[in-house]
Every structure is written in C-alpha cells, then in structure tokens.
A and B are shown apart, each in its own frame.
Chain A
Amino acid sequence: MTPRFAPGVRLHEDKARGRTVVMAPERMFVPDEIALAVLRLVDGKRDEAAIVAALAAQYDAPEEVIAGDVKALLDDLATRGALIRG
C-alpha cells in the first residue's frame, strides 16, 4: 500500500496566509499539523508502514498509536480523490 498524490494534486505553500495547503483540481484541503506531517512523507515510494515508522521516529511515539491516524487520514483523502492508494 504505497500512497501517492493523484494527478493534479500537490502540496502548496500558501504564502499569503502562512500555511501549507493541498491543492487539487478545483478544490483545496487545509491539513492540520499532523495531517501535513503525514502528507510530507507521501512521495510515491514509502508505503504506509514506512510512513508510520518515520512519524513514530519523528514524534517519538509508539507505532500502534500512529498507525490508526495515518490510515484514517489516507483513507479519507483517497475517498476524496486526492490520494491514490497503490
């Protein structure tokens, strides 16, 4: 399960508002800090487990705790068409 951004979807620096947003066809999503941390790891190479492991190291938290959040977020964005779960 290697997530990647769907065509036309990318992270974008919204300089005017000092935040990072997910730009997508005719829409955008404003990720919170956790979601953004996950999305920054979505590169089409890391699979879901690797993303969880990287976050666990980054935030010094147990993988079991993080895994649920990561899955929920990836599922949500996949349903909205922003991510493809390879």
Chain B
Amino acid sequence: MADAPLALLAELTHRCPLRCPYCSNPVELARAGTELSTGEWERVLGEAAELGCLQVHLSGGEPTVRRDLPEIVAAARGAGLYANLITAGVLLDAPLMARLVEAGLDHVQLSIQDAEEAGAERIGGMRGAMPRKAEAARLVREAGLPLTLNAVVHRQNLPNLSRMIERALEWGAARLEVAHVQYYGWALLNRDALLPDRAMLDEATRVVTEAQQRLQGRLVIDYVVPDYHAKRPKACMGGWARRFLGVSPAGRILPCHAAESLTGLDFPNVREVSLRAAWEDSPAFNAFRGTGWMPAPCRGCEHAEQDWGGCRCQAFALTGDMRATDPACALSPHHAVLAEAVASAGAPDFRYRGFTREDILPSHDVRLSNA
C-alpha cells in the first residue's frame, strides 16, 4: 500500500495581483466562482491530517486574496497540521498579520522577484510590490514568526543574486530558497526569456556556495538547480504520489500542483471523494507510483528509486508523452532538446499571466503593461 503523504499543498486560489512569467499555475486558471468554500477547506484539512499529512502549504495564486484565510489557518492548526503560508506578501498588512498569528500560523514563505524595485516590478508585473514585501517581511518578524524568502531565479535576475541574498539578511529571513525556474505552464511559454546559459548558472552556483559557507548559522540557503543543465533529472515531488498531494482551487486532488497540465489523467475532486480514496485508490495517483509503469531506459535503471524517472509534466511538455523518461536525463532519447533550448534562449520579452484587473484586486496599482 502507498505510504502516507507528508504534506498537503493547498492551492486556495489562482487569483494573484502579480503576474510572474514563470508561474506554475496552469495556463487555464480556475475562476473565483469555482473555488472551494471555507467549509470545504476545513473538511479537506481534517482529511489530510487524518491521512498522515504533517504540514500544509497554503498557497495559490495568492492565498491572501481569500478573506477566509485566517479561518483556514485555524482549521489547519486545529487538525494538527503545521501551517505554512506561501505568499507574495503584497496584501499582507498589519490587521491581516494579527489575525493570522491569532489563528496559529507557523511560518511565512515570502517570494521576491528580484533584488531591486525596478527589476522586481518588471518581472512580477506589479507596481509598488517591493516596498509592500519589505513591510510584509517586517510584520512577519515583528510577530515573531520565522521567515523564508523564496527567490525564483532565471536569466533576467541571476546577475542580482548576491543582492537578493543581502535582502534576505536585511529582512531577517532565517532561510532563503534559491530555485531555478521549472519549465511547464507559463514558464515554458517564456522559456527563451528565462533560461540562463551555462556561464550564468556556474556563476550562480558559485555565489550560493560562497554565501552558504560565509553565512553558516545566520542564514540557511537552499538551492534548487535547473534541469536544463543536468545529466540526471530531479526526483520530482520526491516521486509521483509518494510524499505530497495537492488540492487545486476548484478541488481537484493532484500529485503535484503542475499535474493538471497532463492530459489524459482523470484527477478526482474533493467534492466527490475523500483524500484517502484519491491517494490510495485513484488511477491517476497510481499511474506513475513506484517503478512498475516505467518504460526504457528507466525500467531496470539503477537510479529508478532515486529520481523516479524525473518529472512527468516535463516529460509531457517536452516529448508529448507523459510516460517518457524525463528529458533532463542524459539517457533519454530526447535529452538534446534541452541543450537546443539553452542554445536558442535569450528572448527578452515576457508573456504575462493575467486575469482581468477586476478579478484580482479592486485597486489600481495592478499594471497590465509589459515592462
């Protein structure tokens, strides 16, 4: 039988005031009207804890657009889950922070798009985001909560990596995640503008390694390297349906937040089945669990139980076959497509994700322009 999952990724909404060009949300976003209600989330959180989850990552989109976020946090804590908020921070003001602390929030992960205001605005597509993030960081620390900064890095902001590390120190973060973009969804559409070349990547790795040494005991830096320069794929999500499950804004139960990009799998919905039934018995969760489903060259490969054949979404996006070996693997017959993508990268313009303005924020600081 399947081991119990460790964490639930609760995607509360696809709405977000930012429009990052590498967003992992599906290209077809769920509208507000289809989102799960407070009561439905409360039930789902209880089911997750009962199934064995220990943490819940409250994410989106931007989870703070939901007015019932404090109730959802309280439900998570009530169920015994460690409650982690993943936010862009631009809506996190003092009254909301106070309600979240009161509800028992354990930790905040705050994204930054770049080290300085101009770059961050261009990449995130929202004017004035940076000072609001700085203020959010201050509120989190003032409340005594631990803060992690999350920096998604790519061709456009990699030159500023050292200054992003300085921001993390300045804002009082205990951890910094430096993650290279994963290319599916929006990021794949923007790949040419985002993918770094080898020299940029090597420089980034050098900067991170140096900072990890220098800042030991002050700042923990986690570094996720990009697949496009790798010889072996990452164990995506620690293996399909092995450790994590996600619930989409509209209630679809997923082995990973990106899995909706796969066509041909029928993901169950919390409105119809329990998390346990989905985890243990649904064809979608069992489709790529373990090693039995693997074709060559994964089948029988000595690394099969380390990387689990890599990412299904990446395999699907790049080969059209979700069962294929992840092209990030040097043994994949499609491995060359990654090198070709690296060679042709360099386009400077983004295609932004976006709802119309009314769907997102009733204010006027959401800019729908291009840089």
Residues on A facing B (Cβ under 8 Å): 6-9, 12, 14-17, 21, 23, 25-26, 28, 78-81
Contact yes or no, B145 A8, CB < 8 A: yes
Could you tell me the distance in whole angstroms from the C-beta of A65 to the nearest C-beta in chain B?
27
With contacts A6-B146, A7-B174 taken as known, whether A79 is within 8 angstroms of B216 at the C-beta atoms is yes
CB of B54 within 8 Å of the partner chain: yes
Q: Does B84 contact A (CB under 8 A)?
A: yes
Q: Hey, which bits of chain B sit against chain A, CB under 8 A?
A: 4, 6, 50-52, 54-55, 57, 80, 82, 84, 106-107, 109, 144-146, 148, 174-175, 216-217, 220
Partner among B6, B50, B80, B174 whose Cβ is within 8 Å of the Cβ of A6 = B174
Give Cα A16–Cα B2 distance, bound, in whole angstroms: 13
Chain A neighbourhood of B50, CB < 8 A:
16
Known contacts: A80-B220, A81-B174, A81-B220. The answer to whether A23 contacts B144 by CB under 8 A is: no
Cβ contact within 8 Å between A79 and B145:
no
Q: Decide if B55 touches A28 in the complex (CB within 8 Å).
A: yes
Q: Is the interface of A mostly helix, strand, loop or mixed?
A: mixed
Q: CA of A6 to CA of B107 in the docked complex: distance in angstroms? A: 11
Question: Whose C-beta in chain A lies nearest to the C-beta of B177?
Answer: A26
Closest 8 CB pairs of A and B: A16-B52, A8-B146, A25-B107, A7-B146, A81-B220, A8-B107, A23-B82, A25-B146
Residue of A nearest to B106 (CB): A8
Q: Are A17 and B52 in contact (CB under 8 A)?
A: yes
Q: A23 near B174 (CB under 8 angstroms)?
A: no
In the bound complex, how far is the Cα of B81 from the Cα of A21, in angstroms? 13
CB neighbours (8 Å) of B144 from chain A are 7
Residue of B nearest to A7 (CB): B146
Contacts of A21 in B (CB 8 A): 54
How close is A24's CB to chain B, nearest CB, in angstroms? Answer: 8
Q: Is A7 within 8 A of B55, CB to CB? A: no
Q: Which B residues lie within 8 Å of A8 (CB)?
A: 106-107, 145-146
Given contacts A25-B175, A80-B220, A81-B174, contact A12 B146 (CB under 8 A): no
Whether the pair A79, B217 counts as a contact (CB closer than 8 A) is: yes
Which residues of chain B are near A16, meaning CB under 8 Å?
4, 50-52
